[in-house]
Structure 1
Amino acid sequence: MNDRQSRLLAAIIDQFIATAGPVGSKKLLESGEFSCSSATIRNEMGALEDEGFLQQPHISAGRIPTASGYRLYVREHMKPSNREAVVRKKFESLKEHYFMQKDQERVYEAVALLTHMIPNVAFATVPHKSRVYYLGLSNVLKQPEFHVDPTLASGMAEVLEDHLTRVLSGMDITDHIQYYIGEENVLEQIHSCSMMVTRYEIRGEEGVIGILGPMRMDYGYNTVALDMITELLRSS
């Protein structure tokens, strides 16, 4: 294979990869890569076909590469460095979305794990988003306090659904667990409850994780459980 045939094969494969259509001599001349005549290009394409690097799907069509043509292209003509800028731009645009999605999944899984450990509600804010995951309301509804006064359950549900994000954003939350007991809670709906909150960080973004339940909660147990889950988030 001479130099022109080699360059011709590379040009045909590049065009076929981009267009998925057979490549003819006219397209190759229009690319400006070759200064020879159309007849010369057709002759060279015929030679490449005879050598098994190209094939012609129809008599009137241009050529497309064969497996042997692709093999030679990969071995001698492929230049990954020429595509690096395009690939890196795509990668960077998708990478942040990928990690944000993974962050959300990690927070949700942490809340789910904490819910299985405690008989209360577990919640956490999600970095990058003004939303809160919470699970375990059914745990709380089994507590005797909520059987005596059903309005406590509806009040807690209202706070979780409509107000928790705003309440948490107004708190000065640190890396140490803080306890809001009874009327120390901002909202009247949870004056019969206690809230425990602390801060976590994922990839430089901060979030809040905590527990909400009746004042009659096991503070020592919940403190250890919340510490463990928070440490799990911080180390991920």
Structure 2
Amino acid sequence: MKLNSRQQDILRATVRHYVDTAEPVGSKSLADGYDLQVSSATIRNVMSALEGSGLLYQPHTSAGRIPSDSGYRRYVDELMMPSKPLTRQMETTLSNKLDWDGIAMEALLKESAQVLSRLSGYIALVTLPHVEASTIKHLKLVRVSDRQILLIVLDIYHNHSILLPIDSELEDEPKDIDAELQVLSNFLTDQLKGRSLHDAELDWSNLDQTFQRYAEALQSAITDLSRKSRVLPNTQILISGLAGALDQPEFAEREQIRSIVQLLEDGRDQLWPLIAAPLPSEIKSGSALTNQQRIRIWIGAENPLEPMRACALVASRYGHAPGPTGSLGVLGPTRMLYENAVAAVEAAANYLTDAVSGNQEVYI
């Protein structure tokens, strides 16, 4: 159904009034509270037509009307006017409350989730970033005991480490193993600096014969680190604002609260693809997306997970491949102030993109 301007105005007013009051909306409330320049009877007739189109419905025969999932979808796609000044205001708030210079990435993301939940009033969800490819900066071998060596690989965004056993033949030799490890560290850094961990094959022929006995264990360890670094952190979702969001009247039923809490605590492997799945536009055109293209909104029955059928999720990506990329979003009732939710998510996505992009050395 294509809406004329009057139908658009009345649907927009109905959504906004219901978001503000959580009470079914009557024609008199709209006539008194909004400058629609039509009579209450005309508003009532238009609301009846919108109900017939499935955009509004009556929870009880004697009650006013409330937006359906389709009504919210029409509002979000056609009638909502995201506020760029509000997005910039929220970006300023994030910048004032957060300082990512030198902070560990996970700590930054936890603080970002807390600020995002406060700004939006909903549950904030932030995934840890994944790096498709990052170049190695430095490698170091450190003896941590008589029987173990720690290999540390530092790339632009992460620290990777793995323990190696010390060859039993070396344990009894009166050699300075620490000096040997320093030579090996220099060799590894010279060989692999600027390369990806996923392409870390070493040319051991350039190494003195004295050190060849380390070759097999080191190459195996580097291969193992490369394999582990390819694994997506598909259940690592940071969550903030659960207690406050559940005060919403839509979550008054205990069973509904229980199902949402259980999903957030135990179902993150199900939740993660919903937040982090790439958009079709990303797949076709790469990752250089506008803010509007990066935003995804799931409303009510559009959510594939049963506990979220009474909820709306506003999500976005942050970062640019091949650097770190992740996702974030806010989860709340379908009676959501979508303009503010979109502005808050855009602001947080912009902030975290700046934090993890370029040459900034922010480590997990």
Q: Does the alignment reach a TM-score above 0.5?
A: no
TM range (shorter): 0.3 to 0.5
Higher Cα radius of gyration: 1
Higher helix share: 1
